[in-house]
Structure 1
Amino acid sequence: MTASKNFEVIIIGGSYAGLSAAMALGRSLRNALIIDSGLPCNRQTPHSHNFLTQDGEQPAVIAAKAKAEVLKYSTVRFLTGTASAATKTGDGFTVTTVEGETFQTKKLIFATGIKDLMPNIKGFAECWGISVVHCPYCHGYELKGQKTGILANGARAVHLASLVYNLTKDLTVFTMGKGDFTANDLEKFKTHNIQIVETVISEIQHENGQLSTLIFDDGSSINYDALYAAVPFIQHSDLPQSLGCELTEQGYISIDNFQSTTVKGIYACGDNCGMMRAVANSVYTGNFAGAMVNKELCDQTYAVSAIAAKTSNS
C-alpha cells in the first residue's frame, strides 16, 4: 500500500529499464512511483553478460542491487503489483492496479517489456534463457565451439547464422518445415557447411534446462549442446495500446529519438520499444527516458513560472 496517490511520474515496470528511469528521476527530485509485478522476462536466465561491471552476474542480483540504489532517493517509491488499467485525464493519467489501488500522475513511462511466445515443443520453455537462447551477444561466448542449432527460417535464420558462425562452426539450421531461402542464402549455407534440417522438432530433452537431445516428429533424434531461437513476441502489457500508443510493424512501441511515444506525456524504454534486447540497452534507454521526462516537466514548470512572472509585472 502506498500512502501518496499523486505522482509526477509513474513508471510501469520495475526491472532494469524502469529502475534506470527512476534513478534519473530520483536524482532530479521527481516524485515517482514504480509499479512492478516481479516477473522479468529473463527470470530463468542464470547469468547476465555483455554489461560492464556486471558481466556474469545473476540477473536477479543486478536487479536487487539496482532497486536498493534507486530507493535511496527519497522521492521514489516502489509498489509490488500489477497495473491493470490506465486512462487519460485532463492534465495527466490515472493508473489502477489489480490490487485495487488508484494513482494520479502527470507523466507515464512504460518499461513493461515483451512476452515471448513459445513454440509447441516439449521442453522448450524449460530451456529458454539457459541453453535455448535468443542472442549471440548475451550468450554466444559461453556457447562458443559447441554443437549448436538455430531454430528459425528465412531472413531471421540467415541473420542468426552469420552471427553464430563466428562463434562455432558446428552449426545446423532447423526450419520446422519447408525452408524459405533464396539461392544466394543456400549457397552461403553450403559454403560454410551449415546444414538445413526441415524435419519438425517435437521435443527437447534436457536436464534442468540444459539441452541434450532434439527429438523430431519422425522419431529420429540428434544430440545438441545449444539452440538459438527466433521466437515471436507480443507486448507484455496492453496498456500502452489502450492509451493510443502506436506500435511499429515489428510489434514494438513506436518512439521518437527521445523515448517519447505517439501519445504526449507517455514514454517507453527497454525491450518493449526496440530490438536490441540486452540489460545494458535497457539501462541506457531507461536512463534516457527518465531524463527526457524530467526535461519535459522542467520545461513546463519554467514556462508557467515565466508567464506568472510576466503577469505579475504587467
Structure 2
Amino acid sequence: MDDAIIIGGSFAGLAAALQLGRARRRVTVLDTGLPRNRFAGHSHGLLGHDHKRPLDILAEARQQLARYPTVQLVTARAESVSGAIDDFSILTGEGETLRARRVILSYGVADQMPEVPGFAKGWGTSIVPCPYCDGFEVAGRHWGLIWSGPPSHNHVRLYHDWTDTLTVFAHGHDIAPDIRADLARRGIPVVDGRITAIDHGEGHRTTVKLDAGAPVAVDILFAHPRNQPSARLHEALGLATVDTPSGIALQVDERRETSMPGIYAAGDLANPAMHSVTLASSQGAMAGIFAQQSMLV
C-alpha cells in the first residue's frame, strides 16, 4: 500500500509528490499527460522558470523526481476512487487496483471552447485568459476582450496596467447601461453583435469577425470560457464544491483537505479565486505536506 496516490501529474501533482518523496513516503502519481496549459507556448510568472515552455518545465520536474526512490510516476487514468481514510482503492483504466492511505486530487480543469471557428485554434497563443501570464509580452498594444459577464468589468480595470488600448466585444451579452457609461468614460469602445469567426495572423495578431459590421483586428484577444473538472471522481465521492464565475472548484480547508477525510486537492481543480502555475505548485506542495503530517503517529 502506498502512503499517497496523486491523481494528476501536472504542476500541483508533481509538487505534492516532491514533498512526499522528500519525506520518504511511498507515493504513486497517475497522469494522463494532458496538462491544461499544453497549448501555451510559454509559461510566465513562475520564479526560476519564467518564459519556459510549460511542457519543458514538467519534463524537468519528472526527471528531478527520479532521484526519489519512493516516488513512482505512472501514465494512467484513474477510473474510480473508493474506500476511506487509511484504506483507499483506486481503479485505473488498465484495470489495476492501487491502494493508499491518502489521496490527492490534482487532475485540474478543462476549458470549454465556444463553438466559434478559430477560437480553439488560437487558445493559449493569440487567445488567452490571464494578463499575469501573458500581458507583459503584449503590453502597450491593442487588446480585445470577449465579454463574459459581470467579472469582465473588473478585467477592464485590471488591463489598464498593461495597455491603454482596449476593445470590448459584447458577443451577445446585454451590458448594463451604467457599465456601458463607465466603459465610454474610460474611452473603451464596445462592439456589439456576435462573433462568428476568429482569424489568426502573425504572432498574436487576431481578427474578430462579426455577424454585423466590419471585422475588428486586435493584437491579442482575452477570453474567459467556462471550465469543468477534467475528471468526475469528485462527483462519485460526493465531495463538496463551490461555485465560481467560470465553473466549480472543490471545497478544501486550510490544510487542502476536502470534505472527505484523507482526500486532499490542489491546483486549478481546488482554486476558486485564480488559476496560475505558481499557485498550483504552492497548493500542491501544501497538499503533500499536510497529507504527510496527517499520517504521523
TM-score range relative to shorter protein:
over 0.9
**RMSD of aligned Cα (Å):** 1.5
Relative to structure 1, the CA distance from residue 255 to residue 89 in structure 2 (aligned partners, 3 Å threshold; closer, same or farther) is: closer
C-alpha distance in structure 1 between counterparts of 2:85 and 2:26, whole Å: 19
Select 1:59's aligned residue among 54, 63, 78. Answer: 54
Give aligned-pair identity as a percent: 33
Aligned-pair distance for 1:80? 0.5
C-alpha distance in structure 2 between counterparts of 1:159 and 1:267, whole Å: 31
2:38 pairs with 1:43:
yes
Give 2:80's aligned residue. 85
Aligned-pair distance for 1:208? 7.9
Select 2:96's aligned residue among 94, 101, 104. Answer: 101
Q: Deviations over 1:100-144 (max 9, x none)?
A: 221011110001111111111111111111111111100111121
What amino acid does structure 2 have at the position aligned with 1:152? W
Select 2:241's aligned residue among 247, 250, 253. Answer: 247
Aligned-pair distance for 1:265? 0.5
C-alpha distance in structure 2 between counterparts of 1:190 and 1:214, whole Å: 21
Choose 1 or 2 for highest CA Rg: 1
C-alpha distance in structure 1 between counterparts of 2:177 and 2:285, whole Å: 41
Give 2:221's aligned residue. 227
Q: Which range moved further: 202-211 or 122-131?
A: 202-211
Question: 1:153–1:174: 8 Å Cα contact kept in structure 2?
Answer: no
Aligned-pair distance for 1:88? 1.7
Give 2:289's aligned residue. 291
C-alpha distance in structure 2 between counterparts of 1:189 and 1:210, whole Å: 24
Question: 1:155–1:181: 8 Å Cα contact kept in structure 2?
Answer: no
Question: 2:86–2:102: 8 Å Cα contact kept in structure 1?
Answer: no
- SS of the equivalent of 1:161 reads helix
Aligned-pair distance for 1:212? 2.7
Give 1:122's aligned residue. 117
C-alpha distance in structure 2 between counterparts of 1:286 and 1:20, whole Å: 5
Select 2:254's aligned residue among 254, 257, 267. Answer: 257
- SS of the equivalent of 2:19 reads helix
What amino acid does structure 2 have at the position aligned with 1:103? L
Q: Which range moved further: 187-196 or 70-79?
A: 187-196
C-alpha distance in structure 2 between counterparts of 1:248 and 1:33, whole Å: 28
C-alpha distance in structure 1 between counterparts of 2:262 and 2:180, whole Å: 48
* 1:162-173 paired onto structure 2 within 5 Å: 162-173=157-168
Give 1:157's aligned residue. 152
Give 1:3's aligned residue. none
Q: Which range moved further: 18-27 or 195-204?
A: 195-204
Aligned-pair distance for 1:32? 0.2
- SS of the equivalent of 1:108 reads strand
Give 2:275's aligned residue. 277
Aligned-pair distance for 1:92? 2.0
- SS of the equivalent of 1:234 reads strand
Q: Which range moved further: 222-231 or 264-273?
A: 222-231
What amino acid does structure 2 have at the position aligned with 1:196? V
C-alpha distance in structure 2 between counterparts of 1:297 and 1:262, whole Å: 18
Structure 1 unmatched ranges of 5 or more: 1-5, 303-314
Q: Which range moved further: 237-246 or 203-212?
A: 203-212
Structure 2 unmatched ranges of 5 or more: none
What amino acid does structure 1 have at the position aligned with 2:290? M
C-alpha distance in structure 2 between counterparts of 1:169 and 1:107, whole Å: 49
What amino acid does structure 2 have at the position aligned with 1:289? A
What amino acid does structure 2 have at the position aligned with 1:216? L
C-alpha distance in structure 1 between counterparts of 2:204 and 2:78, whole Å: 34
Question: 1:17–1:287: 8 Å Cα contact kept in structure 2?
Answer: yes
Select 1:193's aligned residue among 162, 187, 190. Answer: 187
Question: 1:35–1:83: 8 Å Cα contact kept in structure 2?
Answer: yes
Aligned-pair distance for 1:222? 1.3
